[in-house]
């Protein structure tokens, strides 16, 4: 540490040990307390005038006011206290609090806007805490005079990447610039996605493809713009590009195949959200389609994550691809001494009493086989909601068949065997 900076640092801590620090702490605590009271009052007033039909601009304005009212009020009161007591004592603690409170108000306002722009981003809460800690640390080091020396140290450390070595300071600047441009790119893509979602004429899968392609292009463009801004030559990334190509060629084949398959599924629209499909042993409703995998939710609540490559390279049974009507077959056996025509009419009536069964096309009954114990019939009926499952429907129809057969004397046979004893001697 250079001598001037050491003296400045020692002078700052000497001022903190001065008896005036007690009055500064009292002034700071009073300012924070008054700011807290004002925050509570403002929140009550905003909540009292909250209406469900509030416009987006007013909603953003009131929400941002609730977020920044505390640091802004605290900043105002600390500034007033600083002005009042500065002629009589030292105010180093209050001087340090002013930029910290200002940065807190700025950070809260920025992240409030980001949360409204990225409504489903779970990473914002953690990122806000990390960003706040970094911002306050930078402000504090700037006030204490440590920031220039830190920058000089980071510039002195260089890494031999490509033809032109990069310093740690350049890398940090690049990361900040890339993060900023990526946030702008994500905000633009979310705005475009919101406009597409309001369009009712465009297919859902096509909207997903367009938004993901746009997000990838904007992200790539943001990196291409950000790196040259901080003096990083893009040719230095050729080493990483070659390593990435080798990795894709060997270890990432499956991942790349899944991503390509995901775009194919979204583009050809062979599988859509809400479809009831069967892939191998997995049957369920499509609840999510990403560029890497597709989520199937079964009727038992279990979700199967199916790689997109499997959906491209295997047979997929889609129960609602072009037509949502699905025929369900229910086997029934009656005894040989039963009235077969009556039994067939009772089967059709039992199916049509269920609200989920379509009246047109009508239920059909087929005589399948003359079996050992009875006549095998098949009740076939049509439904339009296979995603609601068949277990409860089969049970209700079987129960209706049982009651109808009991009332009309139709018997359901059980296995019968006739045993003959050979070689018996007459007594």
- DSSP state string for 319-346: TTSS---EEEEEEEEE-TTS-HHHHHHH
In the predicted model, what is the mean pLDDT of residues 218-240?
Answer: 66
Does residue 378 register a pLDDT over 70?
A: yes
CB atoms near residue 166 (< 10 Å) = 19
Of 343 and 289, which is predicted with more confidence?
343
Q: What is the mean pLDDT of residues 330-343?
A: 90
Across the range 366-370, mean pLDDT stands at 91
pLDDT, tens only, 142-169: 766 677 777 777 777 776 665 666 777 7
- Per the listing, tokens 């409860």 go with 392
What integer pLDDT is reported at residue 3 of this predicted model?
A: 46
What is each CA distance from 176 to 168, 170, 229, 357, 424, in whole angstroms? 12, 10, 11, 60, 101
Lowest mean pLDDT among 98-107, 196-205, 404-413: 196-205
Phi and psi dihedrals of 373, rounded to 5?
Answer: -100, -15
To 5 degrees, how large is the angle CA 298–CA 303–CA 307?
A: 110
Token pair, residue 179, equals: 């993060």
Q: Of 47-61, 349-363, 370-384, 407-421, where does mean pLDDT reach its minimum?
A: 47-61
Residue 85 reports pLDDT greater than 90 = no
Residue that wins the pLDDT comparison between 399 and 109: 399
pLDDT at 2: 46
Confidence of residue 7 (pLDDT cuts 50, 70, 90): very low
| Mean pLDDT score, 301-312 | 87
> Mean pLDDT lowest for which of 62-71, 103-112, 312-321, 367-376?
62-71
- Compute the average pLDDT of residues 66-70: 72
Please tell me the distance from the alpha carbon of residue 312 to that of residue 262, in angstroms, as a whole number.
9
Q: Which two tokens stand for residue 328?
A: 């369900």
Model pLDDT, residue 230: 61
Give pLDDT, residue 1. 45
From residue 98, give the alpha-carbon distance in Å to each of 8, 103, 130, 347: 19, 9, 21, 83
**What confidence tier does 200 reach under pLDDT thresholds 50, 70, 90?**
low
pLDDT value, residue 398:
92
Torsion angle, CA of 9/10/12/14, rounded to 10 degrees?
A: 170
Pair 305, 339: CB distance under 8 Å: no
Higher-confidence residue: 365 or 260? 365
Instruction: Name which residue leads in pLDDT, 36 or 108.
Output: 36
Instruction: Pick 196 or 297 by higher pLDDT.
Output: 297
Statement: residue 237 has pLDDT above 70? no
Q: What pLDDT sits at residue 289?
A: 83
pLDDT band (50, 70, 90) for residue 56? very low
At residue 344, the pLDDT reads 92
Averaged over 265-286, what is the pLDDT?
84
Nearest to 46 by CA among 33, 65, 73: 65
Identify the band that residue 15 occupies on the pLDDT scale cut at 50, 70 and 90.
Answer: low
pLDDT of residue 365: 92
Residue 219 has pLDDT above 50, yes or no: yes
Work out the pLDDT band at 270, boundaries 50, 70, 90: confident
Structure-block tokens of residue 302:
């279990």
The percent of residues above 90 in pLDDT, for the chain, comes to: 11
Q: What is the pLDDT of residue 6?
A: 46
- pLDDT reading at 68 higher than 80: no
Which domains occur in the chain, in start order? 3-156 (no CATH), 261-318 (2.30.30.60), 326-407 (3.30.70.100)
Asked if residue 117 has pLDDT above 70, the reply is: no
Residue 293 has pLDDT above 80, yes or no: yes
Mean pLDDT across the chain: 76
**Helices then strands (H, E): number in the chain?**
13, 10
Return the pLDDT at 404. Answer: 92
């Amino acid at each position: 540490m250079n001598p001037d900076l050491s003296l400045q640092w020692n002078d700052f801590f000497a001022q903190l040990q001065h008896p005036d620090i007690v009055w500064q702490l009292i002034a700071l605590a009073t300012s924070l307390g008054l700011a807290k009271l004002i925050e509570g009052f403002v929140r009550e007033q905003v909540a009292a005038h909250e209406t469900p039909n509030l416009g987006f601009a007013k909603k953003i304005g009131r929400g941002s006011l609730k977020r920044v009212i505390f640091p802004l009020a605290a900043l105002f009161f600390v500034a007033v206290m600083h002005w009042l007591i500065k002629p009589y004592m030292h105010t180093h603690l209050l001087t340090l609090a002013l930029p910290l409170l200002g940065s807190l108000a700025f950070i809260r306002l920025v992240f409030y806007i980001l949360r409204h722009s990225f409504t489903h981003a779970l990473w914002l809460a953690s990122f806000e805490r990390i960003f706040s800690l970094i911002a306050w640390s930078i402000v504090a080091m700037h006030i204490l005079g440590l920031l220039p020396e830190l920058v000089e140290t980071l510039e002195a450390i260089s890494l031999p990447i490509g033809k032109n070595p990069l310093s740690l300071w350049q890398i940090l600047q690049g990361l900040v610039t890339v993060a900023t441009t990526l946030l702008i790119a994500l905000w633009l893509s979310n705005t475009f996605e919101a406009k597409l979602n309001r369009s009712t004429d465009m297919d859902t899968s096509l909207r997903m493809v367009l938004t993901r392609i746009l997000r990838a292009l904007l992200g790539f463009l943001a990196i291409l713009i950000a790196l040259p801004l901080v003096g990083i030559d893009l040719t230095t990334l050729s080493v990483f590009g070659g390593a990435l190509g080798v990795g894709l060629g060997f270890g990432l084949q499956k991942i790349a195949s899944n991503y390509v398959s995901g775009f194919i599924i979204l583009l050809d629209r062979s599988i859509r959200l809400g479809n009831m499909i069967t892939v191998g042993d997995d049957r369920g409703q499509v609840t999510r389609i990403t560029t890497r995998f597709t989520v199937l939710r079964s009727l038992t609540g279990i979700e199967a994550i199916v790689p997109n490559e499997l959906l491209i390279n295997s047979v997929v049974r889609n129960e609602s691809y072009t037509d949502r009507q699905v025929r369900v077959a229910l086997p029934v056996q009656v005894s040989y001494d039963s009235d077969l025509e009556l039994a067939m009419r009772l089967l059709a009536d039992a199916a049509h009493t269920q609200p989920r069964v379509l009246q047109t096309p009508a239920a059909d009954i087929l005589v399948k086989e003359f079996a050992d114990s009875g006549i095998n019939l098949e009740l076939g009926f049509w439904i339009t909601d296979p995603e609601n499952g068949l277990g409860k429907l089969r049970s209700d129809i079987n129960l209706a068949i049982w009651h109808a057969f009991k009332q009309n004397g139709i018997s359901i046979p059980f296995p019968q065997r006739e045993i003959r004893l050979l070689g018996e001697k007459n007594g």
